[in-house]
Structure 1
Amino acid sequence: MTGAPTETTQALWTSSLQEVKARIRPLFTQQRVADSASLFLDGLLGNEPRKTGWMRAEAAGDPGPWRQQAILGRGRWEADALRDLVRDYVLEHLADDEAVLVIDETGFLKQGHASCGVARQYTGSAGKITNCQIGVFAAYVSRHGHAFIDRALYLPKVWTDDLERLAAAQVPEGIGFSTKPRMAQDMIERAIAANTPFAWVAADSVYGAGHLETALRRAGKGYVLGVKGTHTVKAWIDRPWISGTAEQVAQALPLSAWRCCSAGEGTQGPRLHEWAYLELADLEASDYGLSATGLWTRGLLIRRRLVDGDLAYFTTWAPAGTSLEKLAWVEGHRWSIEASFETAKNELGLDHNETRSWHGWHRHVSLVMLAFALLAAIRHRAKALPCSKKQTQPLVPVQS
C-alpha cells in the first residue's frame, strides 16, 4: 500500500489497531486475558515468519509460550463471538450490495492423529490425500476489498463416529457430522441473518448443485457454483434445446459459442479465458420464496483455459438478461479467497496453530481472521488518504 505519506499511514495503523483491540476487550472476562489477546494479535501482525507460541511469546517479551497458549486453550471466551465481531467489522469497511460471498476450503497439514478433525483426506493445499485438517471458509469480496467473515472445522465421520475421540478434543456436545455443502449453507444463512449485503455466491464443485442451490434461490441470491463434467444438463427452453452431461454439451458447442473475456484483474493483468454460456430455463423467482421477484435464468457457464483448453463447468442462477461477462466476473471472485488463504498462511500464521482442541482451532483461526480484516480495512481506508509523491515505502504494521 503506497500513495499516502508515511506518517499518515503509520498513524492509521496505530489508530486502527488500537480500535480493534478495544472492540475485542468485552469478549474477555479478565483484563489479563484481554492483554494476552492483544499481544497475540500483535504477534500475528509481526514480522516473525513462524507464528508459533514461542515466537509470539518472544515478540511479546514473555519468558515462555504459556500466556499465548492459554488464549487458545485454558481461557474462557467464545470464538463464535469473535467471528461475529470480525464479520461486523468487515462490513463496516467493505460492505457493498453487489458483493460476492465466496465459499472455499483449505487444508492444515498435521502430524499424528490427536488434532481435532485430522485425518487422511484430500486437500488442494497439498494437491493430494494427506494427513490434515480441513477448514471451510466464507470470504466477503466487494469492490472495496475482501476478508474472511466465517469459518468451520470439518469433522470426518471417523471423528464423529468416535465419541471418545470427540471428548478428548473437547468438541462440544451436539456437534455431529456435517457435509461441506451443509457447512457452506450454514455460513450463508448466518450471513443473511446478520443482514450481510451481497448479491452473489461463488464456490467450486465441492459445493455446487443440490440443496445449496435451492437455498440460494429461496434467499434471492444469484450464484455461480462449480459442477463436475458429469453434471446432467437439460434445457427447458429452446436456446438451443440441449440434454446431456456438462462435458458432452461443451464438446458439442460450435466455435461461435465461445467468447474471450476477463474474469477479473490478476497480478499479471486480466485473467483471460474463453467462456460459453447456455440459458437452460427462465423461472419466476417468487416460486422459490419472497426474497426475490421477476424472471430469473438457470444456466450453464463453461470456462476454457487458453493455454491448454482445460474445461471447468458452473451451474448459474441470475436475473434474466444477465450477461456472460457478468457471470464470468462473479466466478472470478473465487481467486480472492485463494489469495486470502495464501496471505493468511504466509503472513499471519493461519496454519501455525499448535493446539489440538476444537476450541483452539476456532480461536486461533478467528484471531487470524481479525488480523486479516484489519489489514483489509486499513488498505481500503489508505486509498482515501491524501497522496504524496515522496511516499515510496510499503505500509507495514506498527505495534501498539
Structure 2
Amino acid sequence: MTTFQETVAVEATIAERAWGRVFGAAMGAIADCFARREARGTAAELTTGLLLEVDTRNCWTLAEALGHPGPHRLQHLLSRARFDHELARDRIARLVIDELAGAEMVLVVDETGDAKSSTDCVGAGPQYSGALGGVGLCQVAVHLAAVTGTARVPLDRALYLPADWAADEERRMLAGVPEEVVFATKPQQAVTMVAAALAAGIQASSFAADEVYGGRELRREIRTLNLGYAVGVAATHPVTDGAGRPWRARQMLNKVPAEQWMRMATGHGSKGAREYDWAWLAVRADDTPDSQEPGTSVLVARRHRYTGELSYFRCWSPGPVALATVVEIICRRWKIEETFQLAKGHTGLDQGQVTCWNSWMRWSLFSLIATGVLALTLAAAGQETGAARPARLIPLTCPELVRLLRALVLPAPVRDRDHVLHWIAWRRRHQADATACRQRRHRLQDAP
C-alpha cells in the first residue's frame, strides 16, 4: 500500500503542475475575447467555480461558493458583458491542437438533452432526448468532441431549435436569438461544427456518430471535407453489394459465416474488458462526391457476446483499411458519452438555469472549457506517469483528478457564518419577490 500511496503522491504533484499550465494556457488563449479586464477575471472565477464541490451549479450557488455578495457579476458575464464567445471557442480549439499535436484524432458528434420546466427557455420544447429516456420538455444540443487514444476533449456545441421555435418571432426576440440563426437539422449542425473545427486547424482523419447522423447527405458532406467516417445505421438501412444487388443491413450480415466473426476487445469498463464479436462486408458507396474516388466502403456489424444483440455501422475510408482500425474508430464514438457524464457531473453542463441565447452559449462554453482543461490535464499527467504506474493501479481518471484538484489546487467553497447567513437571507428575499410577482401575474391573467 505504501508503494501505491507514493505513486499517487507523485501523480498528484504532476497533475497539479499540469493543471496550472493547461488552465493558464486556456485563460490566456481567450483573454483578448473580453472587452474589459473585470469580465476576464470573472470568467476565470466561473471556470474554476464549476469544478468546486457544490450541490448544484448555477449563478446563485457558484457566487455563494466563490464568496461573492450576490450573483450579479456572473449573471452579467453570461448575459450582457462584451465577450466574443465564438472567437473564444476557436481559441480553445487552437489550444487543443497544440496540446494534442501529433495524436491520431477522430471527430465525434452526439446530442444530449436537458430537462426544462418551461418553453420560455431558448430552444425548449417537447422533443426526444436519450438522456431523458424518451420525449419530454427539454433543450437538445449537438456537441462535437475530439477523441484521441488518450484524451477526449469537447470542441463545440450547437443548440437545436425545433422548427416551431425557430419560426416564432416573439419567442426569438425575447430570448435574444440572432437573426442569422435559422432552423437547421442536427446533421446540418454537425457538418457546420466539423467544418468550423477543421477550418480552425484541427487535424482529424475520421468522423464518428450514431444513427441520427447516418444519412446520405451528411456522409457526402463529411467526405467532401476529406474525412473518413464510421456512423451507426439501422438494421433496415439499404445497402448495395459488389454485384449491384440491394439489401437491408440485417439481411446482408446474415451472409457472414460463423467462423468469420472476430472477437475484439474494445476498451475497459468498470467490470473489466469489453469484448464484442465483429464482422464486415464490402458495399458500394452511395455518397461519393463529384471528382472523388469511391474509396473503401464497408458495412460493419457488432454482436454482443452474451445477448447476441446486433448493431450496424456504415464506414468509409479513402484507402484500404483493416477491421481493427474501423473498430477503433467506432469505439471512439462511445467516448463522447463519457464526456457528457463528466460535463454534467462535474462542470454543470445541464445545471445552468439560463433562459436566453447569449447566456446558454456562454454557460455551455465555460462548462466545455472546464471539461476540456480537465481532459488535457489528465492526458498531460498520463504521459509523464504511465510507464511508472504499478500494474495493480488503474490509470488516473477524471473523477479522481477532480478530487485531487479540490484538495490541492481549487479554493474551498466559502463557508464562514456571516457569508452563509447573508446568502440565506438573500435567497429567501428574492424567492419571496419571485413568488409575489408570479401571483400578481396570475391575477392579471385571471382578471376579466
TM over 0.5: yes
Task: Please tell me whether the aligned partners of residues 129 and 136 of structure 2 are also in contact (alpha carbons under 8 angstroms).
Answer: yes
Question: 1-side partners of 2:370 and 2:27: how far apart?
Answer: 11
Unaligned runs of 5+ in 1: none
Relative to 1, partners in 2 of residues 1:76 and 1:230: Cα closer, same or farther, differing over 3 Å? same
SS in 2 for 1:281: coil
Q: How does 1:28-39 map to 2 (within 5 A)?
A: 28-39=34-45
Corresponding residue for 2:30?
24
Question: 1-side partners of 2:196 and 2:32: how far apart?
Answer: 22
CA deviations over 1:83-105 (Å, ceiling 9, x no partner):
11221111211244631100100
Higher relative contact order (CA 8 A, sep 6+): 1
Relative to 1, partners in 2 of residues 1:283 and 1:179: Cα closer, same or farther, differing over 3 Å? closer
Task: Please tell me whether the aligned partners of residues 207 and 226 of structure 1 are also in contact (alpha carbons under 8 angstroms).
Answer: yes
Relative to 1, partners in 2 of residues 1:282 and 1:250: Cα closer, same or farther, differing over 3 Å? closer
CA deviations over 1:187-240 (Å, ceiling 9, x no partner):
1111221221111100000001211111222222111011112211111x25xx
Question: 2-side partners of 1:135 and 1:77: how far apart?
Answer: 21
Corresponding residue for 2:121?
115
SS in 1 for 2:183: coil
RMSD: 2.6
CA deviations over 1:154-178 (Å, ceiling 9, x no partner):
0001101211111111000021110
Task: Please tell me whether the aligned partners of residues 97 and 198 of structure 1 are also in contact (alpha carbons under 8 angstroms).
Answer: no
Corresponding residue for 2:444?
none
Q: Does 1:90 align with 2:118?
A: no
Relative to 1, partners in 2 of residues 1:317 and 1:92: Cα closer, same or farther, differing over 3 Å? same
Question: 1-side partners of 2:285 and 2:364: how far apart?
Answer: 41
CA deviations over 1:268-297 (Å, ceiling 9, x no partner):
3332111111111389989544xxxx7721
Structure 1 stretches (4+) deviating beyond 6 angstroms?
Answer: 282-286
Count of residues paired in the alignment: 393
CA deviations over 1:306-325 (Å, ceiling 9, x no partner):
23222211111014431222
Q: Does 1:228 align with 2:231?
A: no
Task: Please tell me whether the aligned partners of residues 73 and 360 of structure 1 are also in contact (alpha carbons under 8 angstroms).
Answer: yes
Q: How does 1:23-62 map to 2 (within 5 A)?
A: 23-62=29-68
Q: How does 1:138-177 map to 2 (within 5 A)?
A: 138-177=144-183
Relative to 1, partners in 2 of residues 1:284 and 1:300: Cα closer, same or farther, differing over 3 Å? closer
Question: 2-side partners of 1:128 and 1:105: how far apart?
Answer: 14
Corresponding residue for 1:268?
271
| 1:368 to partner: Cα distance | 0.9
Corresponding residue for 2:424?
none
Between structure 1 and structure 2, the one with the greater Rg is: 2
Structure 2: which amino acid aligns with 1:273? Y
Corresponding residue for 2:416?
none
Task: Please tell me whether the aligned partners of residues 97 and 199 of structure 1 are also in contact (alpha carbons under 8 angstroms).
Answer: no
Question: 2-side partners of 1:191 and 1:369: how far apart?
Answer: 15
Question: 2-side partners of 1:284 and 1:201: how far apart?
Answer: 15
Work out which of the residue numbers 243, 247, 254 in structure 1 matches 2:246. Answer: 243
Question: 2-side partners of 1:150 and 1:206: how far apart?
Answer: 18
Corresponding residue for 1:209?
215
Q: How does 1:1-400 map to 2 (within 5 A)?
A: 2=8, 4=10, 6-96=12-102, 98-235=104-241, 237-238=242-243, 243-281=246-284, 288-289=291-292, 296-385=295-384, 395-397=404-406, 398-399=409-410
Relative to 1, partners in 2 of residues 1:157 and 1:330: Cα closer, same or farther, differing over 3 Å? same
Task: Please give the TM-score of this superposition, normalised by the length of structure 1.
Answer: 0.91
Question: 2-side partners of 1:337 and 1:54: how far apart?
Answer: 29
Identity, % of aligned positions: 32
